[in-house]
């Protein structure tokens, strides 16, 4: 048990102390946490399979396997999205621990109407068990380091048509809130290499008896150094009224055009992004490797 009893901020509530010290107890506790946070926004939680193993006499987690096949999570706005993070101002106990292997899979898991085939694994993730004076138990990020790096991978695949359908539904609702009707939306996604893709979105909107079309373009590319570059970002319309309305949007897009984002340097110590790939075909496949 650590002597550090400083307040813990942005922790994940994990039920009541003491910490679960057997695999079945840990699995049951995690299921309770998932149900509490996702319950109002998901169905199929009873299908989720969780297997866990702890390390006898240690706060470490040997393995945690979560299979979310069949889980359906509905689309949520910012106001509806769960935010489980809390603060523990009066800490009475803190134990550093390591989750040696965490695996997650879903074949598929459905998120916002899109069926996603998911495989992920992370190894040597450091965290702390935090006990509050009120008897609460929480999980706190301990922070990785270059001496204790984390490693793992993620692969997520989804139908391109399903993604476009979801984008169309979200755009229809967003425009309806502003009094517009989306009459057509075509989205063209194309691969420009293993780490590059372009998008051309053409939309037709109507308000009253007025109608117009607009087009938005963008290209994203990640180089060998894991630097993301956005290019060819723009918005156009043949309708002069819409073109004038797009001036403000175009100004913001021009600020993004050519922007470079160093993905590797933005990660915390101990987390090294070694590869990112995006394959665009009938499916969009995102592959990420760390460590």
Predicted confidence at residue 103, as pLDDT, reads 99
pLDDT reading at 252 higher than 80: no
Distances (CA, A) of 149 to 46, 95, 97, 122: 34, 19, 14, 11
Q: What tokens appear for 23 in the block?
A: 């695999």
* Ordered strands of the 260-262 beta sheet: 181-191, 196-207, 210-222, 227-236, 260-262
Residue 79: the pLDDT is 65
d(CA 220, CA 261): 11
Residue with tokens 């117009």: 212
Structure confidence at residue 58 (pLDDT) = 97
CA distance 113 to 116: 9
pLDDT score recorded for residue 248 = 64
- pLDDT tens string 13-36: 999 999 999 999 999 999 999 999
**131, two tokens:** 């006990």
pTM: 0.83
Q: Which helix (H) or strand (E) holds 160?
A: helix 160-177
Q: Is the pLDDT of residue 182 over 90?
A: no
């Amino acid at each position: 048990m650590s002597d550090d009893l400083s307040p813990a901020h942005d922790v994940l509530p994990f039920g009541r102390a003491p910490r679960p010290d057997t695999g079945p107890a840990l699995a049951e506790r995690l299921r309770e946490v998932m149900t509490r946070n996702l319950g109002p926004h998901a169905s199929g939680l009873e299908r989720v399979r969780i297997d866990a193993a702890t390390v006898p006499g240690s706060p470490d987690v040997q393995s945690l396997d979560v299979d979310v096949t069949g889980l359906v999570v509905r689309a949520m706005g910012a106001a509806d999205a769960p935010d489980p993070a809390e603060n523990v101002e009066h800490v009475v106990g803190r134990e550093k621990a390591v989750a040696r292997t965490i695996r997650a899979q879903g074949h598929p898991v459905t998120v916002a109407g899109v069926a996603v085939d998911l495989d992920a694994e992370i190894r040597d993730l450091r965290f702390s068990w935090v006990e509050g004076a009120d008897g609460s138990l929480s999980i706190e990020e301990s922070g990785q380091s270059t001496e204790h790096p984390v490693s793992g991978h993620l692969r997520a695949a989804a139908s391109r048509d399903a993604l476009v359908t979801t984008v169309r539904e979200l755009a229809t609702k967003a425009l309806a809130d502003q009094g517009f009707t989306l009459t057509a939306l075509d989205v063209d996604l194309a691969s420009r290499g293993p780490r590059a893709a372009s998008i051309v979105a053409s939309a037709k909107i109507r308000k009253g008896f007025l109608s117009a079309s607009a087009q938005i373009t963008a290209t994203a590319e990640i180089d060998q150094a894991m630097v993301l570059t956005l290019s060819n970002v723009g918005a156009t319309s043949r309708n002069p009224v819409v073109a004038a309305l797009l001036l403000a949007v175009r100004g913001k897009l021009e600020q993004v055009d050519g922007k470079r984002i160093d993905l590797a340097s933005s990660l915390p110590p101990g987390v090294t992004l070694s590869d990112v790939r995006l394959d665009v075909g009938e499916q969009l496949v995102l592959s990420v490797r760390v460590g």
